[in-house]
Structure 1
């Protein structure tokens, strides 16, 4: 299965605040917040949602196509991605802007406050997905539309419909920038829809659709639930709920959702059932959670298998073997 991943490519600046944000917020002064957090740690890491997902897919043995816009400072990052199985041939390099920057502070409760500078990502709207359609054996089987320049997300979704390319909608953080019509356009007709629990509620508010309406518009809706795991819904089918891997070490929550998507889609690419796909997603997410940075974990067969056995039992872990047998 050939997967094209469109969306943000960025450098992450990850900071750690040893206290709790909640302790610094005064309820009757929230309309006048002016805070500066003295942080103890700073990690500069490779990131961006599309790059994170592509990195995860590459590590699991697929060769995803990365589609996004970067600056002239991308050269070292590109080498890294290529070394981890990512095809960067469809990445647009801006001559005017730097690669996007994600700046995030995480507190003692793993709550996060972040900002994002789009930079070269603004030029992603100029990328034409028609370039992906060549010989039949090179045509993507799925296009994942991740958070990106909003105009790019809308364009790529429209082009998928025009080209007859199955697509997955992952609006995530960009839901805050989309109006109702735009949110509906990104979701309608998606084979897969990915959200977390908060984004699921925000999506319904933005679109004016209730849960049944959303399920009528998409093939499968995958909702990550943090420590509670993941819920998978399809119209006319019973909900599938899979718990997260228990007692996973927590080093940095950044990019954990992206790692889940990598594991889930890798399982889908191998033809595994939904419950198994959700389990592999949770297992890969647990490895990302234990590492600082979105691309610092390794898809190690032994560690992934051990985590699957611990969380779901030996029989369930055996179902995942086709996705892991080629790993070191």
Structure 2
């Protein structure tokens, strides 16, 4: 299956604060917040939701086409992505801007404070997804991830025009997008991905009910952190799928992106939603156990062991199908 992932490509600056943000916030001073956190660690890693998802798909042998915008400082980063099995030929290189930057501080409870510098990502709106489809002889699935808002809308329309199956994953951009734009991104999607907060925000900004959303998408996946995920389809009972327990919760950044990579790869292999959610969950746990969003690695054997340990013998059939599907 020919898969394209559109979305942000960024460099992550990840820091840890040895305390709780909530202990530093005074309720009666919320109108005048001025805080500085002395952090213990700084890790500079490659990231961005599009690149993170593509990285996971690459490790699973899918060779996804990454579609996004970067600066001239992308040379080394691009080489690493290609080494992980990602097709970067559709990445636009800006002549004037740096690659986007994500700056995030995590406290001891896993809460995060973050800022995002757009940089070259603003040029994603100039990318023609149709050219990628032509280069690859067509596309079977496009995941439209968080990116320049105009670029997200353009990619969505190209998928409609060309009849390409798509997954909508607006994630962080839900805070910036207006209701009309969100409705446009979601309507007609084969899959919709959100977390719990994004789910509520989507409903609030669109004015839709859950029933309204499910009338417009095939499957709605909502990640629930350590509780796993829920799977919604119109006219069917909600399905809940448990997470894979982590050996150590090292860094939550990019865990949702890794989940999406596993889920999309499993779906592309023909696995049904619960099995796909389990494949996504084990990928998410691999990411959680590593610092950075593109540092985790695994073998098929290790992935199989973690799936069976978490879900029992009924999960034994996921890995063979998952990796066999990579060669179709």
TM-score range, shorter chain: over 0.9
The structural deviation recorded for 1:164 is: 1.2
* SS at 2:173 equivalent: helix
1:321 matched to which residue of 2? 320
2:114 matched to which residue of 1? 114
The structural deviation recorded for 1:216 is: 0.5
* Contact 2:269–2:325 under 8 Å retained in 1: no
The structural deviation recorded for 1:222 is: 0.4
Task: Name the CA distance, whole Å, in 2 between partners of 1:243 and 1:218.
Answer: 23
Are positions 1:201 and 2:200 aligned together? yes
Gapped runs of 5+ residues in structure 2?
A: none
156-165 vs 249-258, which moves further: 156-165
Q: Are residues 325 and 127 of structure 1, via their aligned partners in 2, closer, same or farther at CA, if it must alter by over 3 Å?
A: closer
Task: Name the CA distance, whole Å, in 2 between partners of 1:152 and 1:182.
Answer: 12
Normalising by structure 2, we get a TM-score of 0.97
1:75 matched to which residue of 2? 75
* SS at 2:108 equivalent: coil
2:254 matched to which residue of 1? 255
2:220 matched to which residue of 1? 221
Task: Name the CA distance, whole Å, in 1 between partners of 2:31 and 2:158.
Answer: 41
* Contact 1:284–1:299 under 8 Å retained in 2: no
2:99 matched to which residue of 1? 99
Task: Name the CA distance, whole Å, in 2 between partners of 1:258 and 1:143.
Answer: 15
Deviations 1:69-113 (CA, angstroms, capped at 9, x unpaired) = 000000001110111100001000000000000000000001100
The structural deviation recorded for 1:19 is: 0.3
Are positions 1:275 and 2:277 aligned together? no
Superposition pairs of residues 1-328 of structure 1, within 5 angstroms: 1-134=1-134, 138-324=137-323
* SS at 2:52 equivalent: helix
The structural deviation recorded for 1:325 is: 6.2
* SS at 1:153 equivalent: helix
Task: Name the CA distance, whole Å, in 2 between partners of 1:21 and 1:48.
Answer: 24
* SS at 1:134 equivalent: helix
Gapped runs of 5+ residues in structure 1?
A: none
The structural deviation recorded for 1:289 is: 0.2
The structural deviation recorded for 1:326 is: 9.1
The structural deviation recorded for 1:240 is: 1.7
* Contact 2:195–2:222 under 8 Å retained in 1: yes
Q: Are residues 154 and 66 of structure 1, via their aligned partners in 2, closer, same or farther at CA, if it must alter by over 3 Å?
A: same
Q: Are residues 322 and 189 of structure 1, via their aligned partners in 2, closer, same or farther at CA, if it must alter by over 3 Å?
A: same
* Contact 1:10–1:46 under 8 Å retained in 2: yes
Normalising by structure 1, we get a TM-score of 0.97
* Contact 2:16–2:105 under 8 Å retained in 1: yes
* Contact 1:276–1:320 under 8 Å retained in 2: no
86-95 vs 299-308, which moves further: 299-308
* Contact 2:262–2:276 under 8 Å retained in 1: yes
* SS at 2:37 equivalent: coil
Q: How many pairs does the alignment contain?
A: 326
